[in-house]
Structure 1
Amino acid sequence: MKITVRAAEEADLPALLALYGELNPDDAPLPGASADALWAAIAGQQGRTVLVAEADGTAAGTADCIVLPNLTRGGRAILFVENVVVAGRFQRQGVGRRLMDAAVLLGESADCYKVQLLAADDEYVHDFYRACGFQALAQGFRRYVG
């Protein structure tokens, strides 16, 4: 199986929405006009790259990456990774690893001093990120609003 990772384009939106449906199956699907408007805002955001992994030409996974400018660490930015998902039928075939490698390359190319992500409280997921070279160095907190 040939796996490639590239920056997503507007034409990838239906495939991205299907992947996000696997990530958050309880979420109601976005109406088309809303999804289009959100994609336009994401695509226009400086430092934002939504990666899409293709396996033999089929969208198999995605990761949303954003470079955040930073006033510490000598002004070196941070790359945050969110909404990482690999379609069920492509899991354990190298797709996730290729996505994480591409995210780290994005961080390196933007002279980021770290790549940061939060992971679900799932040992399999934690093992995956450790295998990709990430370390659990801090405790994450979140507060949902609205």
Structure 2
Amino acid sequence: MEITVRTAVERDLPVLLALYRELNPDDAALPPEVARAGWEHIAAQQGRTVLVAEAGGAVVGTADSIVMPNLTRGGRGILFVENVVVAEAGRRRGVGRRLLDAMVDLAEEAGCYKVQLLAADDAYVHTFYAACGFEPRAQGFRRYLARGA
């Protein structure tokens, strides 16, 4: 299966939303105007890149990233990766690996010193990220904020 990775564009929004539903099935669907406004904000952010992976003419995966400028490590930035998802039909075919390789390429092009991502507590996901060259080097912490607050 030939896999092509490219930067997402506005016309990809419906398939991105479908992929995100696979990632977070409990999330309520976004109203179209909220989704479009969100996309416009994302597309305008400096250092922000949403990639999509295509196979067989269809988008089958995505990953989102942003470069955070930095005043340590010689001023080299950090590329943060979020919302990595491959459609169920495209899993175990190299799509996720191609997306992560493309993220590493983006980081190198931006002069970053590291790529950072958080992973769910899922042994399969941890094994996948390790196979892609990522190491569990720190413990992550999160604080979720109340909705509507």
Fold conserved between structures, TM > 0.5: yes
TM-score by length of 1: 0.99
**SS, match of residue 98 in structure 2:** helix
Alignment deviations for residues 72-108 of structure 1 (CA, whole Å, 9 cap, x no partner): 1110000000000000010000000000000000000
* Aligned-partner residue type, residue 78 of structure 1: I
What are the residue-to-residue correspondences of 1:4-83 with 2, within 5 Å?
4-83=4-83
* Aligned-partner residue type, residue 34 of structure 1: V
1:108 is the counterpart of 2:108 = yes
What's the offset of the Cα at 1:56? 1.3
* Aligned-partner residue type, residue 42 of structure 1: I
Partner residue in 2 for 1:126: 126
* Aligned-partner residue type, residue 11 of structure 2: A
What's the offset of the Cα at 1:111? 0.3
**SS, match of residue 28 in structure 1:** coil
Partner residue in 2 for 1:99: 99
Structure 1, unmatched stretches of 5+, are none
* Aligned-partner residue type, residue 75 of structure 1: G
TM-score by length of 2: 0.97
> Over aligned residue pairs, what C-alpha RMSD do you find?
0.4
Give the Cα–Cα distance (whole angstroms) in 1 for the partners of residues 21 and 14 of structure 2: 11
Partner residue in 1 for 2:141: 141
Give the Cα–Cα distance (whole angstroms) in 2 for the partners of residues 138 and 31 of structure 1: 37
* Aligned-partner residue type, residue 15 of structure 1: V
**Moved >6 Å (runs of 4+):** none
Structure 2, unmatched stretches of 5+, are none
Percent identical pairs in the alignment equals: 72
